[in-house]
């Protein structure tokens, strides 16, 4: 069938600069660049995914990828994109697939929230001269501690539930081995260890060689139970039960058999070449009491030595669900907003299901406080955090820490082309193709991840100091340091913030 | 008192406190003179005092000091109080109007006991009193209970502290602990209730500072049922002490370490050396993170059995302490202490976050009367 698709991009090649070296040809797994019969390089626009790999590596800067927004007759309803989807489905009869997070122009509430700073009545603090503390403990806390005085000396009588300690309130989000390459996993593990924070295996299991990073690893137990065994659980710093993912709330996962080579097969404990299908629900969790059973099964299995996290996508009733999860015994609740990324998701679900993380954090934090149980579980927020400004605002709204997924991939080289599900990632990140995978040098990628989080942490310190605060816990849930610009009364009510210009009360 | 308390006051201030650990009773002239030295630390928009041991003849009764905008507010309040308390007596608080403070709200003092008998549950009785105070303060327009402890009282007004002290005729009272405060607010509701000290039960706080963590401190306290109606930093400090000392039963020194937490580097060092305090402080910071008062402050806390001075964890506001015989003095400036006790045994500047603690040698037993009787019988 002849495709009616129009090319989305246009590849411009400056013939004066091109030396016909063929780097672009070798770099593009989508075959957008080719040699013709005479050995001359040419390009096919329709194959290009705009990942910018060829542009970055062209030795003479001869390439330029241009937006080629196809002209369709002016129509607010039948845009080029809506028509494109229809052509695609008319040709295949399939479900539209995509990767990464929701790209739609929904409001980004971070950009409607502004931070405070000290002037005159209290001094700002310079983090280069004074201590500035970002250390964060994730896990369940009691609502008070008991101290007994013995011979005039205080003695601690309370034993606090297991915690994980972060040097900075930023973790790497769950991305599975299988969805991303071995080298990407290695880079995440190494960077997390260097940074004193944590990375997350996702549902792909933990490759044998990566057990050395286990003290900084959160392992996931998802509905497919891939790669879950006692050694895996024992090795981890914390265990996360994955209920949902922001990019695709309510559905399971699908790792195509092409991505399941020998190493992925061994790690996931499934046959080589078989599709790894995670069911939509856990088939042993049909209600909250079932979740509680799984939480306590995992606690029993690991002898109550590590915190158990439960990850959910942010949906309409997220506050009540989170309250149930806290009461079910979870030590950490991870909430993934609708801009959270994915290796593969149905486009319609990614773009239409779930709610923004900003509103979810605010609603959950407020609800747990109303019920007097906020101390029982820590909150990790996830879903499209772009910079340290987003992170610090999330903490002011009430999150304990933040998961970075997409930002970490971008740090490693990702250009958000949204083709993760094809397995052809030219940057060597979202692929299992050995030829592509080795393009990602784990040493360099780990350093880039380290640099990113270090930079953000410095920025968070500076902003905290500006507010006259020298410990992150004094900003956590401190919404008085946020003000809204351009939001409705209802939105401000849910966020628990006042309009900019109103006083500090 | 809705409408009058809609702004959080950000203020710089002067403070002073004096205590006889022997429990000797002293007149109020000294603290007034001490505060007069700190005149320039306030701007005439609020001054106040708290004194302990001033009502020995009514020591078993909660002394409620209430300001009313008008008679109607008093009538409404009286109904609420009647429902909850046996009122032993009520009277107008004696004052002396002057050019400095020519007028003010109606000021009444009640001595009351809860109508409910809590038997051996001292905590329940005190929670009952707190609930009553919060109900009046949030429900009755134009009424404000600004003091609610036993054998103690707060006195405050809009004016310079020395004028406020004279207005309330504090020279006619005798107490073993006195604390004083002069305000320099940067916004001005000009409301008497906004002056310091802020009190709940027998906790009285005077405070110099701006707490940048207020937003979370308030939400943290709300989890434990406190209603922060006054929107002042100081109110938050008083409730924090009530929560940690009275309800969570933490030792004073430990509670102070939650409010002005040691740095992680120091805690790590203690833990590495096997110092058990390292574990306590680590647990404290994990569990009481919401109680950490972040930002510049110096406070003096008065309570029935003592007085505590505390500054923030990097000491961004001044605090000086001194001792002479049985006396402990704490003030923003040494001059305020020298004014009333020129000869001192020792003067020092407490380190950031290090509490200065004064304790009565013969502490008063707290709790309901029934509980005290029971305790005495057992003993």
A372 to chain B: which residues are within 8 Å by CB?
223-224
Q: Which of A87, A86, A90, A84 is nearest to A68 (CA)?
A: A84
**pLDDT at residue number B120:** 66
Surface of B (271-330) touching A: CB under 8 A = 276-277, 279-280, 283-290, 292, 294-296, 313-314, 316
DSSP string, B62-118: EEEEEEESSHHHHHHHHHHHHHHEEEEEEEEPP----SSS----EEEEEEEEESS--
Q: How many CA atoms lie within 13 A of A103 on its CB side?
A: 10
pLDDT for B10 equals 53
Q: Could you give the ipTM of this predicted complex? A: 0.92
Considering only alpha carbons, which residue of chain A is nearest residue B184?
A: A121
Which residue numbers of B are catalytic? 13
Phi-psi region of A494 (alpha: psi -120 to 50; beta: other; left: phi over 0): alpha
CB–CB contact A121 B286 (8 Å): no
Interface test with A, best of B189, B207, B215, B253 (most A CBs within 10 A): B215
Give the SS3 label for residue A495: helix
Q: Is A108 on the interface with B (CB under 8 A)?
A: no
Write out the DSSP string of A424-488.
Answer: --TTSSS---HHHHTTS-HHHHHHHHHHHHHHHHHHHHHHHHHTT--BGGGTTT-GGGEEESS--
Domains of chain B, CATH where assigned: 11-58+161-378 (3.60.20.10)
Q: What's the pLDDT score for residue B72?
A: 97
State whether residue B250 sits within 8 Å of chain A by CB.
yes
Q: What is the pLDDT of residue B119?
A: 72
Q: Which residues of chain A have pLDDT under 70?
A: 1, 504-505
Mutation target for A interface from B216, B227, B249: give the one with most A CBs within 10 A. B216
Both ends of chain B: CA-CA distance in Å? Answer: 45
Nearest CA in chain B to A149: B251
User: Which pLDDT value is given to residue A229?
Assistant: 97
How is chain B split among helix, strand and coil, in percent rounded to 5?
A: 35, 30, 35
Give B212's contacts in chain A (Cβ within 8 Å): 118, 122, 467-469, 474, 481
Strands A401-404 and A170-172: parallel
Could you tell me the end-to-end alpha-carbon distance of chain A, in angstroms, rounded to an integer? 65
Model confidence pLDDT, tens digit, residues A204-217: 999 999 999 999 99
Give CA–CA dist A324/A368, Å, rounded: 10
* Three-class SS state of B356: strand
Closest-CA residue of B relative to A153 is B277
- The two tokens of residue A492 are 């401000």
Residue B291 CA to residue A332 CA, distance in Å, equals 21
**Which among B223, B254, B277 has the least Cβ separation from residue A369?**
B223
Q: Is A131 on the interface with B (CB under 8 A)?
A: yes
8 Å CB contact of B290 and A155 = no
Would you mind telling me the total number of residues written for chain A in this entry? 505
Q: What parts of chain B have a pLDDT lower than 50?
A: 1-7, 371, 379
By Cβ distance, the residue of B212, B223, B253 closest to A374 is B223
Residue of B nearest to A465 (CA): B295
CA angle at A416 for the pair A415 and A420, rounded to the nearest 5°: 110
Q: Which residues in chain A have their CB less than 8 angstroms from residue B220's CB?
A: 477
A476 part of contact set with chain B, CB < 8 Å: yes
Window B:121-180, CB contacts with A under 8 Å: none
Four-point Cα dihedral B184, B188, B189, B195, nearest 10: 0
CA-closest candidate to residue A197, choices A164, A163, A166: A166
Instruction: Return d(Cα A163, Cα A340) in angstroms, integer.
Output: 25
Cβ separation of A468 and B212 shorter than 8 Å? yes
Instruction: Please tell me if residue A148 touches chain B, with a CB cutoff of 8 Å.
Output: no
Our CA-based measurement puts residue B56 at a distance from the nearest CA of chain A, in whole angstroms, of: 31
- Does the CB of A147 have a partner CB in chain B at under 8 Å? yes
| pLDDT score at B245 | 93
Is A69's Cβ below 8 Å from some Cβ in B?
no
What are chain A's domains?
A: 9-94 (3.30.70.20), 164-476 (3.20.20.70)
Tokens, residue A319:
């506050």
Helix axes B233-241, B214-223, angle to 10 degrees: 40
Task: For residues A63 and A86, give the distance between their C-alpha atoms in angstroms, rounded to a whole number.
Answer: 31
What is the per-residue pLDDT for B4? 42
Residues of B in contact with A156 (CB under 8 A): 276, 279-280, 283
């Amino acid at each position: 069938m002849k495709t009616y698709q129009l090319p989305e991009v246009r590849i411009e090649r400056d013939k004066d600069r091109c030396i016909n070296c063929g780097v672009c040809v070798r770099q593009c797994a989508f075959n957008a660049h080719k040699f013709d019969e005479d050995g001359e390089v040419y390009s096919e626009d329709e194959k290009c995914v705009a990942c910018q790999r060829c542009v970055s590596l062209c030795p003479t800067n001869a390439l330029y990828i241009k937006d080629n927004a196809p002209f369709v007759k002016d129509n607010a309803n039948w845009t080029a994109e809506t028509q494109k989807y229809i052509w695609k489905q008319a040709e295949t009869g399939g479900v539209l697939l995509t990767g990464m997070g929701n790209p739609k122009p929904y409001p980004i509430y971070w950009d409607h929230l502004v931070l405070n700073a000290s002037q005159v009545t209290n001094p700002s603090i310079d983090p280069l001269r004074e201590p500035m503390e970002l250390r964060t403990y994730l896990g369940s806390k009691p609502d008070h501690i008991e101290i007994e005085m013995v011979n005039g000396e205080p003695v601690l009588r309370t034993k606090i539930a297991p915690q994980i300690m972060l040097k900075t309130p930023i973790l790497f989000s769950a991305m599975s081995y299988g969805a991303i390459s071995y080298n990407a996993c290695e880079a995440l593990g190494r960077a997390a260890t260097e940074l004193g924070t944590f990375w997350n295996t996702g549902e792909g299991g933990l490759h044998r060689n990566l057990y050395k990073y286990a003290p900084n690893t959160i392992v996931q137990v998802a509905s497919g139970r891939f790669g879950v065994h006692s050694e895996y659980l024992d090795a981890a710093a914390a265990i996360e039960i994955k209920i949902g993912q922001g990019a695709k709330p309510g559905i399971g996962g699908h790792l195509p058999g092409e991505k399941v080579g020998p190493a992925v097969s061994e790690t996931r404990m499934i046959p080589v070449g078989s599709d790894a299908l995670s069911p939509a629900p856990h088939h042993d969790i049909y209600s909250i009491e079932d979740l509680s059973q799984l939480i306590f099964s995992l606690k029993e299995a690991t002898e109550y030595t590590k915190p158990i996290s439960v990850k959910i996508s942010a949906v309409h009733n997220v506050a009540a669900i989170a309250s149930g999860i806290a009461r079910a015994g979870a030590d950490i609740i991870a909430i993934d907003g609708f801009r959270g990324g994915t290796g593969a998701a149905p486009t319609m679900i990614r773009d239409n299901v779930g709610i923004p993380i900003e509103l979810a954090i605010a609603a959950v934090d407020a609800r747990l406080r109303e019920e007097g149980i906020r101390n029982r579980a820590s909150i990790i927020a996830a879903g499209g955090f772009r910079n340290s400004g987003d992170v610090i605002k999330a903490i002011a709204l009430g999150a304990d820490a933040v998961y970075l997924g997409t930002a970490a991939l971008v740090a490693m080289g990702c250009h958000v082309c949204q083709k993760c599900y094809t397995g052809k990632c030219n940057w060597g990140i979202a692929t299992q193709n050995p030829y592509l995978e080795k393009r990602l040098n784990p040493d360099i990628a780990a350093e880039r991840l380290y640099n990113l989080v270090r930079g953000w942490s410095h920025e968070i310190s500076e902003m905290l100091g500006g507010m006259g605060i020298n410990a992150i816990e004094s900003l956590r849930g401190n919404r008085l340091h946020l003000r809204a610009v351009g939001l409705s009364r209802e939105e401000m009510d849910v966020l628990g913030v006042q309009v900019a210009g109103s006083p500090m009360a | 008192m809705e409408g009058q308390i809609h702004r959080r006051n950000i203020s710089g201030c002067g403070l002073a406190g004096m205590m006889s650990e022997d429990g000797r009773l002293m007149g109020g002239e000294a603290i007034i003179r001490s505060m007069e030295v700190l005149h320039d630390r306030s701007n005439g928009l609020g001054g106040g005092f708290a004194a302990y041991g001033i009502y020995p003849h009514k020591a078993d009764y909660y002394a409620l000091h209430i300001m009313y905008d008008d008679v109607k507010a008093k009538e409404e309040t009286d109904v609420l109080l009647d429902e909850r308390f046996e009122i032993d007596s009520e009277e107008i608080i004696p004052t002396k109007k002057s050019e400095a403070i020519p007028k003010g709200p109606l000021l009444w003092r009640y001595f009351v006991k809860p109508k409910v008998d809590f038997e051996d549950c001292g905590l329940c009785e005190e929670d009952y009193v707190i609930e009553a105070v919060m109900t009046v303060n949030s429900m009755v327009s134009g009424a404000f209970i600004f003091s609610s402890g036993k054998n103690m009282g707060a006195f405050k007004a809009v004016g310079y502290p020395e004028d406020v002290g004279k207005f309330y005729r504090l020279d006619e009272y005798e107490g073993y602990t006195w604390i004083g405060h002069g305000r320099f607010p940067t916004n001005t509701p000009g409301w008497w209730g906004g002056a310091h000290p802020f009190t709940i039960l027998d906790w009285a706080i005077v405070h110099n500072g701006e707490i940048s963590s207020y937003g979370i401190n308030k939400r943290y306290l709300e989890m434990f049922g406190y209603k922060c109606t006054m929107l002042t930093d100081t109110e938050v400090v008083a409730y924090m002490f009530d929560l940690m000392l009275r309800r969570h039963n933490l030792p004073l020194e430990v509670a102070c370490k939650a409010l002005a937490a040691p740095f992680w580097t120091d805690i790590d060092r203690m833990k590495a050396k096997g110092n058990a305090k390292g574990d306590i402080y680590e647990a404290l910071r994990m569990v009481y993170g919401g109680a950490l008062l972040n930002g510049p402050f110096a406070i003096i806390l008065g309570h029935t059995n003592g007085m505590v001075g505390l500054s923030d964890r990097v000491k961004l506001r001044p605090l000086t302490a001194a001792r002479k015989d049985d006396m402990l003095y704490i003030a923003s400036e040494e001059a305020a202490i020298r004014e009333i006790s020129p000869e001192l045994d020792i003067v020092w500047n407490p380190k950031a976050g290090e509490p200065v603690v004064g304790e009565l040698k013969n502490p008063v037993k707290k709790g309901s009367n029934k509980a005290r009787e029971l305790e005495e019988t057992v003993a």
